[in-house]
């Protein structure tokens, strides 16, 4: 299949997928922050419970906080494929737990009670914002994310930086011909290697991401986000719908990634063919310089040189572009970039050479197989790579095959001629058969009365003709 048939479409697809994988890294970081929020609240509730017990609060004031801890120990929507509590439900239980604890303290521990009251006020506001979004904007309760100041700060502050960097990286690998498209596909596959630590799964070395649904924001009068929620069109039960959405997304990602892998293979083989043709004079000069060297050694040297040219040009260009991107990122004056996972990704790229990645090592290992495939598909390239000794052996082998084919043809011709009956043999056969029938009839005649000779002579003639006619008909 010709994967390079539509150049513009392929180039646009690679740029789009570069932006997509960077967005996936950001989304994965938001999901990690949501998990950390739940874990932090879990640890906070446990500490409050521990202090309440130490302060001697009665068990009736500890029921709700025990329930809240139980809920926080499990999954919370939207980032789960199992049935779980949603953010508004969790907030309601936590608020009730803190109110119950406050009532248990009464007038004791005023500083602690004041701290808990501040927590209740903040949580009630977030709960009310979510309930208003449900009523006014019909946002399903399972779609809401839990908000904290660090999360909102990162979500808002890093948004402009993330978009700017993603556009800069993708445009850096825009392609104008097959060679630059090969550089772009190589860069994308290597970028996937750097992004693996953020992925949920890996399939055939390709990182796959779940929960790729974009985040929507409803702002308050001050322009600050009151709620953040995932955009998901659904009709049924949330955990089933999100599971199906993830399944479709993973299949789509794998299909697109696999397409890029095949496109890269096709472009690599084209580049190998061009490299062999371009280096034909150098190959011939090397063969002339070392006429006594074994053909296997010479061909191996040629293969190594072709691979070295490929890696120097393709890996070298990818590394050069990555270095440019990393340097531009370090010069970026955006104060919030340090909170973005993309900044960490750029630093990882800056400190790790392209050739050290798993994808680069895979391409290196598969190169000779690709070279072999190209030579098998294009005999004119095989002629360039073959040494004079190999060409001589090939010519002798072809001559031997021609002689063998000619001998076989003569043998078949002789066999065909032997199968045709010789006319003389056939006439002798029929003559012999005629004499036998004459003898048979004559023997019968001798048994008859002499007075019937004339009649029997006629019978002899008729009978002999009838028998021979029967024989010819059988033949």
Q: Looking at residue 136, what is its pLDDT?
A: 95
The average pLDDT across 290-313 equals: 92
**Confidence band for 423, pLDDT divided at 50, 70 and 90:** very low
Helix runs in 109-237, H state only: 110-137, 149-157, 159-172, 178-195
Helix runs in 279-334, H state only: 280-289, 295-331
Percent of the chain with pLDDT over 70: 87
Find the range with the poorest average confidence among 39-53, 117-131, 382-396: 382-396
As a whole number, the mean pLDDT across the chain is: 86
**Confidence band for 14, pLDDT divided at 50, 70 and 90:** very high
Q: Looking at residue 419, what is its pLDDT?
A: 64
pLDDT at 400 over 80: no
Q: Looking at residue 145, what is its pLDDT?
A: 97
Write out pLDDT tens, residues 96-108: 999 999 999 998 8
**Confidence band for 453, pLDDT divided at 50, 70 and 90:** low
Q: Looking at residue 462, what is its pLDDT?
A: 45
Q: Supply the pTM of this predicted model.
A: 0.81
Write out pLDDT tens, residues 236-249: 999 999 999 999 99
The average pLDDT across 441-457 equals: 48
The span from the CA of 151 to the CA of 157, in Å, is 10
CB neighbour class for 385 (10 Å; exposed up to 12, middle 13-18, buried from 19): buried
Which of 160, 166, 213 lies closest to 191, judged by CA?
166
Find the range with the poorest average confidence among 85-94, 294-303, 410-419: 410-419
The average pLDDT across 441-453 equals: 48
The span from the CA of 67 to the CA of 97, in Å, is 8
Q: Looking at residue 196, what is its pLDDT?
A: 94
CA-based Rg of the chain, rounded to a whole angstrom?
A: 44
Find the range with the poorest average confidence among 153-167, 170-184, 456-470: 456-470
């Amino acid at each position: 299949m010709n994967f390079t048939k539509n150049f513009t479409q392929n180039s646009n697809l690679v740029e789009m997928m570069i932006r997509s994988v960077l967005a996936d890294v950001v989304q994965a970081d938001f999901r990690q922050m949501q998990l950390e929020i739940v874990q932090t609240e879990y640890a906070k509730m446990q500490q409050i419970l521990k202090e309440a017990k130490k302060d001697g609060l009665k068990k009736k004031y500890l029921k709700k906080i025990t329930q809240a801890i139980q809920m926080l120990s499990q999954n919370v929507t939207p980032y789960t494929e199992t049935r779980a509590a949603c953010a508004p439900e969790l907030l309601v239980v936590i608020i009730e737990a803190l109110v119950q604890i406050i009532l248990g303290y009464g007038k004791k521990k005023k500083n602690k009670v004041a701290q808990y009251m501040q927590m209740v006020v903040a949580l009630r506001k977030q709960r009310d914002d979510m309930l208003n979004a449900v009523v006014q904007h019909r946002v399903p309760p399972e779609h809401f994310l839990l908000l904290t100041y660090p999360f909102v700060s990162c979500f808002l502050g890093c948004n402009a930086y993330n978009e700017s960097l993603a556009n800069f990286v993708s445009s850096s690998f825009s392609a104008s011909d097959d060679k630059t498209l090969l550089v772009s596909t190589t860069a994308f596959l290597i970028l996937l290697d750097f992004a693996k630590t953020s992925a949920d799964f890996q399939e055939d070395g390709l990182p796959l991401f779940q929960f790729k649904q974009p985040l929507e924001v409803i702002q308050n009068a001050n322009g600050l986000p009151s709620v953040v929620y995932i955009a998901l069109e659904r009709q049924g039960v949330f955990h089933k719908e999100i599971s199906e959405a993830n399944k479709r997304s993973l299949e789509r990602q794998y299909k697109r990634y696999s397409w890029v892998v095949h496109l890269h293979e096709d472009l690599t083989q084209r580049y190998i063919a061009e490299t062999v043709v371009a280096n034909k004079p150098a190959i011939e000069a090397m063969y002339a310089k070392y006429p006594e060297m074994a053909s296997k050694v010479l061909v191996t040297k040629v293969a190594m040189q072709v691979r070295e040219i490929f890696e120097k040009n393709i890996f070298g260009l990818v590394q050069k572009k990555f270095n440019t991107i990393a340097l531009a990122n370090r010069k970026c004056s955006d104060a919030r970039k340090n909170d973005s996972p993309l900044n960490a990704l750029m630093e990882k790229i800056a400190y790790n050479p392209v050739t050290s990645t798993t994808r680069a090592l895979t391409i290196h290992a598969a190169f000779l197989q690709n070279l072999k495939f190209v030579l098998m598909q294009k005999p004119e390239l095989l002629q360039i790579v073959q040494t004079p000794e190999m060409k001589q052996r090939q010519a002798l082998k072809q001559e031997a095959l021609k002689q063998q084919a000619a001998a076989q043809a003569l043998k078949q011709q002789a066999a065909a001629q032997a199968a045709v009956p010789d006319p003389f043999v056939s006439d002798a056969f029929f003559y012999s058969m005629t004499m036998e029938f004459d003898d048979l009839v004559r023997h019968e005649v001798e048994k008859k009365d002499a007075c019937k000779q004339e009649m029997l002579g006629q019978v002899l003639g008729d009978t002999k003709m009838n028998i021979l006619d029967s024989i010819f008909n059988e033949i």
